Each structure stands twice: as structure tokens, then as C-alpha cells.
Amino acid sequence: MDAFTEAGGNFVDTADIYSKWARNNRGGVSEEIIGRWMRDRGNRGEMVVATKVRAQMWPGPDGEGLGRQHIIAAVEGSLRRLQTDYIDLYQSHSFDAAVPIEETMSAFDDLVRAGKVRAVGASNYPAWRLAQALATSETHGWARYDTVQPHYNLVKRGEFERELRPLCEHSEVAVLPYSPLASGFLTGKYGRGVALPRSARASGVARRYFEDDVAWRTLGSADEIAKVHGKSVSQVAIAWLLCQPVITAPIIGANSADQLKESLGAIDLRLSATEVKRLNNASGGSYSWND
């Protein structure tokens, strides 16, 4: 995180549940780490902090979801763990079909009016639910979803591009795609006939992409373009996202300062219109945008 801010970064994205699925992790640990780091550095005012609500944080009917009671209780927990009195961007982690959208957006609006949240966003929302939420907020004059976090990268395009992309463009919703490197497939460390690393993550990558000829074709094109620029495959994958007008910022993850530096190397990579078209064609997408 120090390396990130030293490089000019200021936006940090997390969630209240991170990383409850890990052994001996109660959830909320990521927020606690970020909170301690901001306290020790005294840089809260310089950071844009985003977190999420939706997943189950405690037992009982109000321990999860996007109902008013859970949202109001969950934000207090996040504020406490982050050691702050406001959250810059508070996001629905995924949509909740069991709760009326009016209840969810009304609760978010109350948090914005109270100054506990500055803006709200959505993650893992289908286009129909995002459109419904935007219309509800407009009708009532409530805070709206200003951002959306889709799962979007060079080898996973259709889910975002078919419906969410045109909606975001029309409604001017900022797009913060996660998994820009397809869980590591777009780093260049995987290859046909190359021994698979022994990890659950690698096994998941293999299940999703190793039988997908389009994914391998896309990886090959990205690798060739990377060599022309003296860059890595991962930098090409991130640069492809950065050159799209609808994308505000891809969400990158790093386990070390070196990994972070590698991803940030995409910032100064400018793909030509021909290279973008080549990547689009290789990945099977039907959408294009201006270079």
C-alpha cells in the first residue's frame, strides 16, 4: 500500500467480508488492515476508500443482504474497522432479489444524507437491476449508484458488453472492472503443455480457460503485442481496459510491491487502434471504441 501511494495511487477497494472464506478469518480483516494503515500514515484525507455490503457478517436474518436493517448496521462496522467517520464509496456487493430496490436505495440515501457515505455503487449487478435502481433513485430524488463493478477482462467480455456497457454509457455510470487479469490467466504464466502450478487458484484457472480456444487465441495475441512494446501480457490486458472510455479504473490486486509495479507498468502503454482491434477480434467481441 505504501508503494501504491508512492506511485500516485489513492483509491483502495475492499469489502466487509474480506476474507471470511479463508481459514481462521472472521471477516472484516481487510478493512482493519486498511484502517490501521491510514491511521499510522495519517493519510485518510488523501485516500478514496471503497467497501461493500451484502454478504453474511453475523448469524440471523439481518446478518446479510441489502435490507435497511443490515445496511445500517453493517456500515457502522465498516466505519469502525476502517477507523474513519465516512466511506467514500459504499457498494452493494451483489444484488439482493429478496429486498425491494426501494428499501435498499432509501437506506443508501439516508447514509449519504447523514454524511457517513459520500457515494454509492453496485458490484455484480445485472443490467436490469442496475436500471431499476437508477430509475428508483431518479424518481425519489435519492442517491443513485454512481459506479458499477463488473467481472470484465479480455477473456470475459459478453457479460458486461451485451447490456451493462450500453447502460453505463447512457447513464454515465463509472465502471470499475475487477479481475482484469482473469485470475492470472492473462499474466502469461500459463501455457498449453506447460505444467500447472499446484494451487487452488491455478486449478480454477484451468477449469475456466484451458479448454477455451478463444482464450488461448487471445492470450497469444496479447503476448505478441506485448513483445512489440517490450511489455508483459498482463500490462497489455490492463492497457486494453484503460483505453476504453467507459472504464474509469480497473481494480488490480497484488501480493507484493513487485507485482504492483508490474501492473502499474500498464499506465504508460498506449495501444494503437490496430492493436485494440486485433485483441477485440481474437477475444471474439463485437464491440469497438475510438482509439
The residues that are catalytic are 18
Alpha helices in 42-178 (DSSP H): 68-82, 101-114, 127-140, 158-159, 165-171
Beta-carbon contacts of residue 88 (< 8 Å; ≥ 6 apart)? 47, 48, 49, 50, 118, 119
Sheet holding 87-92, edge to edge: 11-13, 48-53, 87-92, 117-123, 145-149, 174-175
DSSP 8-state class, residue 88: E
Spatial separation of the C-alpha atoms in residues 21 and 60, rounded to whole Å? 18
Q: How far is CA 26 from CA 72, 233, 286, in A?
A: 20, 35, 43
- Name the residue among 59, 66, 70 with its Cα closest to residue 26: 59
Cβ–Cβ contacts within 10 Å for residue 103, how many?
Answer: 16
Angle, CA 94 vertex, CA 48 and CA 215 arms, to 5°: 90
The continuous run of DSSP H or E covering 206 comes out as helix 200-209
Please give the Cα distance from 169 to 159 (Å, whole number). Answer: 15
In 3D, which of 233, 230, 229, 208 has the Cα closest to residue 274? 229
